[in-house]
Amino acid sequence: MSVKTKWAQIADGFIAMPGGPGTLEEIFEQWTWAQLEIHDKPCAFLNVNGYFDPLKTMNETMVRHGFMKQPYADMLTFSDSIEDILRVFAAYTPPHKWTPAFRQVG
């Protein structure tokens, strides 16, 4: 069993604090695993001084352009308050599993 798999099993949720590429890789992986129903745990960004505002905007852009469905964007919490994040976590209900939308190209 990998360390990441063990981490996903024992965690109640995942909170990213401001950081670099490794931080983003870790939280995106857990968010993806939640979309695929590998686990059903919430993910959040502790948005200190608006650090993650561009990422929140990118999520909104992906939904607006049809690259992501709104329920998957809604899986992420952005807040500068750990108390708010924990309240959201306590009430969290995951959406149904992600399924690709196939369409004819041409």
C-alpha 28/C-alpha 16 separation (Å) is 10
Could you please state the CATH topology (level 3) that the domain comprising 11-90 is classified under: Rossmann fold (3.40.50)
pLDDT at 98: 61
pLDDT per residue as tens digits for the range 48-93: 999 999 999 999 999 999 999 999 999 999 999 999 999 999 999 9
Q: How confident is the model at residue 1 (pLDDT cuts 50, 70, 90)?
A: confident
Per-residue CA distances from 18 to 33, 35, 45, 47, 91 (Å)? 21, 23, 8, 7, 24
Domain spans of the chain?
11-90
